Amino acid sequence: MKLFITPGACSLAPHIALHELGIDHDTVAINLRKGEGQTPEYLARNPVGAVPVLETDDGRTITEVMAILLYLAQRKPEAGWIPADAIPLYERLSFIASELHKSFFPLFFGERIVSTPEAVAELAKTYKERLAPRFARVSEWLGGQDYLLGTFGPADIYLYVILTWWLRGMKESLDSWPNLIFFVKRMEARPGVRAALEHENLTPVLA
Ligand SMILES: N[C@@H](CCC(=O)N[C@@H](CS)C(=O)NCC(=O)O)C(=O)O
């Protein structure tokens, strides 16, 4: 199968999943800054021009991080990534997608929303403050566990990618949430995470 990625973007999550699950794949790099997400060919895959997109060997085109993670998990049931009671998994994935992931658009692209540097800074301040109780929520979910649901799975991968944006992209710290610091280090010790990072020419942020 073929995964369309932009190095370091949310597409890193399904990319890590492919490595962790040992699924054969190719990646195609899309340079969003150069407009490669807006070509007619790419828009035919995803009309909103976003990564990730997964093209499967049997001809399916799947968009959305959460859907791709769950699709990959279903392809390898032996990995046990979808528990019998999947509701906590969906709860965490949904929280990461809507409350965490989408909070970064105003942080990375504030100038697309408001026009003055002061307004961009104010927007960033507001969104960073909004993220704090949301990081506290995932930190509580982790508690003393290694992973969000106790055992490693798709929600951990998605959370890890978002936390790299906070640490590397925003140059912010996780000092208020020690569970999250341990979590990032734990994730970066995993060979599948390392392999995907290396493939995207990225280094671990904390390990
Ligand atoms: N809801 C989408 C969001 C995807 C998304 O935000 N992708 C970003 C990179 S992390 C992107 O491609 N942005 C390009 C754009 O919005 O033009 C998903 O879960 O896949």
Q: Are the C-beta atoms of 205 and 184 separated by less than 8 Å?
A: yes
Domain ranges in the chain? 2-79, 87-190
- DSSP track, 115-162: SSHHHHHHHHHHHHHHHHHHHHHHHHHHTTSSSTBSB--HHHHHHHHH
pLDDT tens digits for range 141-169: 999 899 999 999 999 999 999 999 999 99
Please identify, by atom number, the ligand 1 atom nearest to the C-alpha of residue 67: 19
pLDDT tens digits for range 81-91: 999 999 999 99
Pick the CATH number of 87-190 from 2.102.10.10, 3.40.50.1370, 1.10.3720.10, 1.20.1050.10: 1.20.1050.10
Q: Are the C-beta atoms of 75 and 131 separated by less than 8 Å?
A: no
pLDDT tens digits for range 60-86: 999 999 999 999 999 999 999 999 999
18-43 mean pLDDT: 97
Task: Tell me if 97 CB under 6 Å of ligand 1.
Answer: yes
The overall pTM is greater than 0.95: yes
The Cα–Cα gap between 121 and 134 comes to 20
Same CATH fold assignment for domains 2-79 and 87-190? no
User: For residue 19, is pLDDT > 90?
Assistant: yes
Q: Of the residues 65, 68, 112, which should be mutated to test ligand 1's pocket, given the most ligand atoms within 8 Å of the CB?
A: 65
Q: According to CATH, what is the number of the domain 2-79?
A: 3.40.30.10
